[in-house]
Amino acid sequence: MNRYIVNSLVISSMLLFPWVADAATGIDALTITSDGKGGQSYTVTIQILALMTVLTLLPTLLLLMTSFARIMVVLAILRQALGTAQTPSNQILLGLSLFLTVFIMMPVFDRVYQDGVKPYMEEEIAISEALERASTPFREFMLRQTRESDLEMFARISGHGDIDSPESVPFSLLVPAFATSELKTAFQIGFMVFIPFLVIDLVVASVLMSMGMMMLSPLIISLPFKIMLFVLVDGWSLIMETLAASFFI
């Protein structure tokens, strides 16, 4: 994965955990203390622990703050609708989801890097200003995909009160609301994908029942027709185009 994408995710993780930014500012990574007897003791500060914690959270950030969840759910439903068991395999679906996520999120990652990460690494701005700049692209992206009802629900159960403006939505509310909205959207798209294949299954099952072939599994007969339909309509291109376009509407 591109280096500045990783840097963008690290900066974005500090939006959820501000104490990481505090730990990374003005604290030495290694402290050397003399014991008065000519020896020295070495102490690793909490900065290292904080940064390692952020790195372990990168997969979670990829799932909950990007387009990855919607894409992966839709592709999993598509495989179930085709009835092809483990084909394509989980690794292929993950790879497709990851690279399509990078394609969709590239404008966001680029803005985070140019506005927040790059100036901070060049020591032009402080970490607090870098976090503020980096939060804007992610906030705008997630707010565009988040339903107001989900935001209101999480605000209500958390006792946050009324939300005055999009800029006042804390990430602790925005991230779960965004994840919930993504799951709803993914299942809506998956439902529309499932319908044509369900019709084929029903037609094949009805024909087999009318012919008295009740012991023959309809899946054996319908699977080639579903694959043929999917190939004839250029299904993979349609699915990828639909998923990508759903984030830019």
Q: Cα–Cα distance between 179 and 177 in angstroms, integer?
A: 5
pLDDT band at residue 46 using 50, 70 and 90 as cut-offs? low
Tell me the three state secondary structure of residue 30: strand
Q: Is the peptide bond before 170 cis (omega within 30 degrees of 0)?
A: no
pLDDT digits over 101-142, tens only? 888 888 888 888 888 777 877 777 777 777 778 778 888 888
Residue 85 corresponds to which tokens in the numbers above?
């068991």
pTM for the whole thing? 0.74
Lowest mean pLDDT segment, chosen from 21-35, 77-91, 198-212: 21-35
* HSE-CB of 96 using CA atoms within 13 angstroms: 20
Question: In the predicted model, what is the mean pLDDT of residues 57-78?
Answer: 84
pLDDT digits over 145-178, tens only? 888 888 888 888 877 767 777 677 777 788 888 8
CA–CA distances in Å: residue 237 to residues 100, 124, 221, 240: 12, 43, 25, 5
Asked if 155 contacts 173 with a C-beta cutoff of 8 angstroms, the reply is yes
Q: Cα–Cα distance between 30 and 47 in angstroms, integer?
A: 9
CA–CA distances in Å: residue 129 to residues 3, 19, 69, 120, 121: 21, 15, 29, 9, 12
Q: Cα–Cα distance between 205 and 113 in angstroms, integer?
A: 54
Question: 10-13: which pairs have CB atoms within 8 A and are 24 or more residues apart?
Answer: 10/54, 10/55, 10/58, 11/112, 11/116, 11/117, 11/120, 11/130, 11/131, 11/134, 12/61, 12/65, 12/112, 12/134, 12/135, 12/138, 13/54, 13/57, 13/58, 13/61
Residue carrying the six token digits 């501000």: 18
pLDDT band at residue 74 using 50, 70 and 90 as cut-offs? very high
Lowest mean pLDDT segment, chosen from 37-41, 190-194, 196-200: 37-41
